[in-house]
Structure 1
Amino acid sequence: MFRQLYEGIKQSVLAGRITPGAQLPPTRDLARQLGVSRQTVLNAYEHLVAEGYLAGTVGKGTFVSKILPVAATFSKRSDAHPLRPLSARGARFIGPEVALNTHEGPPKAFRIGMPGLDLFPFDVWARLEARRWRRTPHELGYSAPIGYKPLREALAGYLGASRGVHCHPDQVVVTSGSQQALFLIASLLLDPGDAAWVEDPGYRGISASLRAAEALVCPVPVDDQGIVVSAGKSAYSDARLAYVTPSHQLPLGTTMSLARRLELLEWAKANRAWIVEDDYDSEYRYTGPPLASLQSLDKTGSVIYVGTLSKVLFPGLRMGYMVLPPALVDAFVQARAILDRHAAIVPQIVLTDFITEGHFGRHIKRTREAYGERRITLLEAIDSHLGEHVKAGAADAGLQLTTTFVARRDDQEIALRAGEKGIELRALSQFYLDDSTSAESLTGLVLGFAPIPIKDIRQAAPALRDVLDE
């Protein structure tokens, strides 16, 4: 109680509600007014005197210190501007064009970018972690910025077998999610003003990282074969980097053709440019085995392969990785250390056990089957309830699918209306670099299915139809 009183008087002094020199009530009087013991008031006054807010004189009373600066300087600012402006670099980290989406509350139809948390074997994870804690890991000190070596070995083996990635464990750098990897890439490889291709429509997170690095973000269109390399070369011939999602383009879901992959690699070789391959959810392909990576075709060390475990395990793990050309490893490891030293070590150790003991492979197999069923349910629901309004795009991979409107409509307004009805989805136009709703851009809805139970998909589809009807 004395701390509550102490805090109340302190804030009143700082806000100027009690001015310098003002006399406070005697301790007995204030105790009687507040219905507390005198000792409570004495303790509060003593703390405030010790910290310089009050001054007491025996026989005269207790006063607000006269030597405090003008109280108004402490008052709460009525505006949102800092006392001093952000640096020009700092200003590039704020604003709607660099804002990233977050999720709140449990998943509901049709949340995108999420795995099915109801399918993750948390009991297995808890058992593996408890086993490690029974014998405290010696690695609990500061760890190597590059990442836990057994985990890097496990990831290198997995990527080689499943994605055809050519790498040594020493080329694998563990990051706190793929977003950190993209930030490091933009910061280390691009100077202010350097041009970088991004898919349009595409992942907004890369645009945020590029803008923060003061690079020139260059939108390049995407067609049914992936990024249109010829358009990029024509419009931004001197680009230093290209960001692509070749296995499963976000958000259109297309796969980059072999011809387009070879064309992109040839451009990078000729222009000494970097290619960032974001392989964010390639494990989930429903019409055949996962496709080989773009990195597996690279002969000149142009491709930086970026992966995440958020889409396979759970986003809260915050674990991703980069496979770097050997010449870049030392620089990125040092930058990784400056940024936050290293990723949390205990999750790395547990994840290593999860992979090496076979749980990872079994989890992917189980979730691929479950997501496949949820995907079919969503396609059937679109056909049954939404076919009058939308048509489904490529749906053979990933955790969500994109629909386009049969007749052009304001997809952002529809997404807002759906949210008011408890339906969570994303407008396709929001994936364009400038949130464009011009005639050149597609409009539609991006619908997630991976985290949504089948019964919820079936229930939400008619409700979405009602929104579209309205």
Structure 2
Amino acid sequence: MLRRASTAPLFTLTLERGAKAPPLYRQVYDQVRLAVLEGRLPPGTRLPSSRILADELRCSRNTVVGAFEQLLAEGYLEGHVGSGTYVSRVLPDELLAVRPERPVATKPTESAPPTLGKRGHRLARLEPPGAPARRGDGRRAFVPGMPETAFFPFSVWGRLVGRFWRVPPRELLRPGEPGGFRPLREAIAAYLRAVRALPVEPEQVFVTSGAQQALDLVARLLLDPGERVWIEDPGYAGLRGPLLAAGAEVVPLPVDQEGIEVAEGQRRAPDARMAVVTPARQYPLGLAMTLARRLELLSWAQQVSAWVVEDDYDSEYRYAGRPLAPLQSLDEGAGRVVYIGSLSKVLFPSIRLGYLVVPPALVEPVTRARAVLEDYPALALQPALAAFIQEGHFAAHLRRMRALYQSRQDAMLDAARRHLVGMVQLSGSEAGLHLLARLQRPITDHQASAAASAEGLIAPPLSAYFYDGPPGGSSDALLLGFSAVPEEVMDGQVAKLAQALERAERSART
């Protein structure tokens, strides 16, 4: 490596030449800037000319000129026509520095460090929704609610994305409407009218980043801090965070064979402002709320002027009979039910799109709130999704996946009859993507889940879905997802689960 030093007055520059050395102009720039900042070149100092420095350093004059131009642009140097280049009298770093009006304290203060607010502490203690699955790599067997993505028509999807974004129309490059891409809202409304019997107009549909964002918007708009909200217990943990973030007081209510116990809610919190439920298929128990219980819930909401939020998270996957009518279709114009749907389980999880359907009276307030908060999702995938639905690809994909999931559920039940007899009670389900496995051995669901994890399986304990833990501290069931487990490996995975349960029982005895 060759080095060449400048012998110009006042300061010295040294250039390194070699494959790994920085560009020469950058070396000149860095060294002059450092000399200015360290005071080795005081303000007002005249610098040697670029020609002299280039001769001294045996480099191109353009190298020195380039460095000087950058220093001039940044304010370290200033030029005077006919008299040369000088160190600036007011340096940029000096202008950016904060000058405290009072002397800076050198001793540490006695006050306590900043802390989270009460709601922040409550949020930070929550277990993230789907945490057991997220700790896996997405390929481990039995993750509840995990859709199969290998059969998604990505070739069709890619063509649709390319149609809109190869040469995007100008309106797609603008911020978009608070409600979402208009054609997508129209497509969702038409789908809900045809499949879910919801009398909904496109204006009532708001595209969201999923169920949690939809509930977050609803909670902030409809709840005041301290107001009470009924939730199902056990229930989906992801619905608790938005409620706590809005300052609500969550009231967990037990779930029986008919659904959330409305009578118990009226006893514990008759003045609740909202109820959040999963009536089509209760999560995680997999039960459908009976018609009598639905009408009882709506009657309570009408009497106390409360809201009902209906999370219809996987109603698309029903294997026997027609889908159950949503609560919103039973509301009979009262306008008290807010409907939430998700597309992550229907398409693929990373799409992060869902929708919110609000009663007509809430259309304008929700629109204004979204415009102020600017929390609506990016427009990038919405045009492709609208075309995917409108051109029939969505319905075709649903039919294929419904048949596939039914077949995989049957394969799990067949494997359970071979390997899990006397260990768990496992019954088929008319809907959904997971089954509830009731333990028949003297072990807790936490012990069983831990043993399954040691075998490379994800089988969350039912206990994890209770707000304050189940009665007695533990439950007797595991959640077993079948949708992402191919039939050809199902038997082997169920056999591994049986081995894990046997190992857990032996360990519990000792």
Q: Same fold (TM over 0.5)?
A: yes
State the Cα distance separating 1:274 from its structure 2 match.
Answer: 0.6
1:85 equivalent in structure 2:
115
Amino acid across the alignment from 2:366: F
1:95 aligns with 2:128: no
Identity %: 43
1:317 aligns with 2:351: yes
The equivalent position to 1:127 in structure 2, one of 159, 170, 182, is 159
The equivalent position to 2:34 in structure 1, one of 28, 35, 49, is 49
State the Cα distance separating 1:181 from its structure 2 match.
Answer: 0.3
Change over 3 Å in CA distance of 1:392–1:338 after alignment to 2: farther
Distance 1:149 1:248 in 2: 30
State the Cα distance separating 1:97 from its structure 2 match.
Answer: 4.9
State the Cα distance separating 1:178 from its structure 2 match.
Answer: 1.1
1:23 equivalent in structure 2:
none
Contact 1:92 1:214 in 2 (8 A): no
Change over 3 Å in CA distance of 1:45–1:133 after alignment to 2: closer
Distance 2:151 2:495 in 1: 25
1:226 aligns with 2:279: no
Amino acid across the alignment from 2:421: G
2:336 equivalent in structure 1:
302
Distance 1:131 1:345 in 2: 14
Distance 1:304 1:459 in 2: 43
In structure 2, list runs of 5 or more residues that go unmatched: 1-11, 43-92, 105-111, 504-510
The equivalent position to 1:257 in structure 2, one of 284, 287, 290, is 290
The equivalent position to 1:110 in structure 2, one of 120, 137, 142, is 142
Change over 3 Å in CA distance of 1:38–1:328 after alignment to 2: closer
Contact 1:437 1:443 in 2 (8 A): no
SS at match of 1:292: coil
Quick check: 370-379 or 385-394, which moved more? 385-394
Contact 1:98 1:207 in 2 (8 A): no
Q: Deviations over 1:85-131 (max 9, x none)?
A: 33444444322356663635333201112211112111110011112
2:66 equivalent in structure 1:
none
Change over 3 Å in CA distance of 1:413–1:384 after alignment to 2: same
1:352 equivalent in structure 2:
386
Change over 3 Å in CA distance of 1:150–1:27 after alignment to 2: same
Q: Deviations over 1:158-187 (max 9, x none)?
A: 111111112111111111111100111222
Change over 3 Å in CA distance of 1:459–1:301 after alignment to 2: same
TM-score with structure 1 setting the length: 0.83
Contact 1:252 1:393 in 2 (8 A): no
2:201 equivalent in structure 1:
168
1:459 aligns with 2:492: yes
2:64 equivalent in structure 1:
none
The equivalent position to 2:446 in structure 1, one of 388, 405, 412, is 412
1:189 aligns with 2:229: no
Quick check: 337-346 or 167-176, which moved more? 337-346
Distance 1:223 1:48 in 2: 74
Choose between structure 1 and 2 for higher RCO, CA contacts under 8 A separated by at least 6 residues.
1
Contact 1:226 1:260 in 2 (8 A): yes
Contact 2:129 2:236 in 1 (8 A): no
Amino acid across the alignment from 1:429: S
SS at match of 2:289: coil
Contact 1:183 1:210 in 2 (8 A): yes
2:321 equivalent in structure 1:
288
Change over 3 Å in CA distance of 1:313–1:55 after alignment to 2: same
Contact 2:126 2:241 in 1 (8 A): no
Distance 2:471 2:28 in 1: 66
State the Cα distance separating 1:42 from its structure 2 match.
Answer: 4.1
SS at match of 2:183: helix
2:46 equivalent in structure 1:
none
Change over 3 Å in CA distance of 1:83–1:184 after alignment to 2: same
SS at match of 1:248: coil
SS at match of 1:154: helix
Contact 1:393 1:404 in 2 (8 A): no
In structure 1, list runs of 5 or more residues that go unmatched: 1-25, 60-64, 74-81
The equivalent position to 1:395 in structure 2, one of 422, 429, 443, is 429
Amino acid across the alignment from 1:55: E
Distance 1:47 1:89 in 2: 52
1:3 equivalent in structure 2:
none
Aligned-residue CA RMSD (Å): 3.0
SS at match of 1:242: strand
SS at match of 2:123: coil
Change over 3 Å in CA distance of 1:427–1:43 after alignment to 2: farther
State the Cα distance separating 1:394 from its structure 2 match.
Answer: 5.8
Change over 3 Å in CA distance of 1:38–1:360 after alignment to 2: closer
1:423 equivalent in structure 2:
457
Change over 3 Å in CA distance of 1:68–1:357 after alignment to 2: closer
Distance 2:319 2:123 in 1: 38
Contact 1:403 1:446 in 2 (8 A): yes
